[in-house]
Amino acid sequence: MEILKFEKGPKAVGPYSSAVKVGNLIFFSGILPIDPESGELVNDSVEHATEQILKNLSLMLSEVGLSLKNVVKTTIFTTKLDEFAKINEVYQKHFEAITKDFPARSTVGVASLPKGALVEMEFIVEA
């Protein structure tokens, strides 16, 4: 197992690694919609939160020579499951810009998320 550390993207908000590599797979911990430059939570809408999370992931992936097309599984956690369609719209836009194939995905409605976030996502990526 290799612990991955990134210059770009938000830092972990607790005692865990942002990502670990095992074999040819990278497991990303839950990514919150934190603007890496300001450190502020982007939480005014599920659309903006989803946008920020995918930007954060793309920044980190670029550091290891990968992109969204390498994502094989996404898990989405949201406190706003009633706004699922809005999350889908942003998610689809980002992936369609890179590939026609979407990764496997689960979406889970939850009561709350760290820092009061509306959305959190974790990813498995093939390196």
What pLDDT is stored for residue 37 in this prediction?
Answer: 92
Interhelix angle for 84-96 vs 46-63, to 10°? Answer: 30
Q: What is the pLDDT along the chain (127 residues), one digit of tens a residue?
A: 999 999 888 888 789 999 999 999 999 999 999 999 999 999 999 999 999 999 999 999 999 999 999 999 999 999 999 999 999 999 999 999 988 889 999 999 999 999 999 999 999 999 9
Its domain, for residue 93, covers 2-126
CA angle 103, 39, 127 (to 5 degrees): 30
What pLDDT is stored for residue 102 in this prediction?
Answer: 95
What pLDDT is stored for residue 8 in this prediction?
Answer: 86
Written as one letter, the residue type at 4 is L
| C-alpha distances out from residue 40 to 44, 73, 109, 119, Å | 11, 27, 23, 14
Query: How many domains does the chain divide into?
Result: 1
Question: Could you tell me the CATH number of the domain that includes residue 100?
Answer: 3.30.1330.40
Distance CA 121, CA 92 (A): 14
Q: Quote the strand ranges of 34-80, DSSP E.
A: 71-78
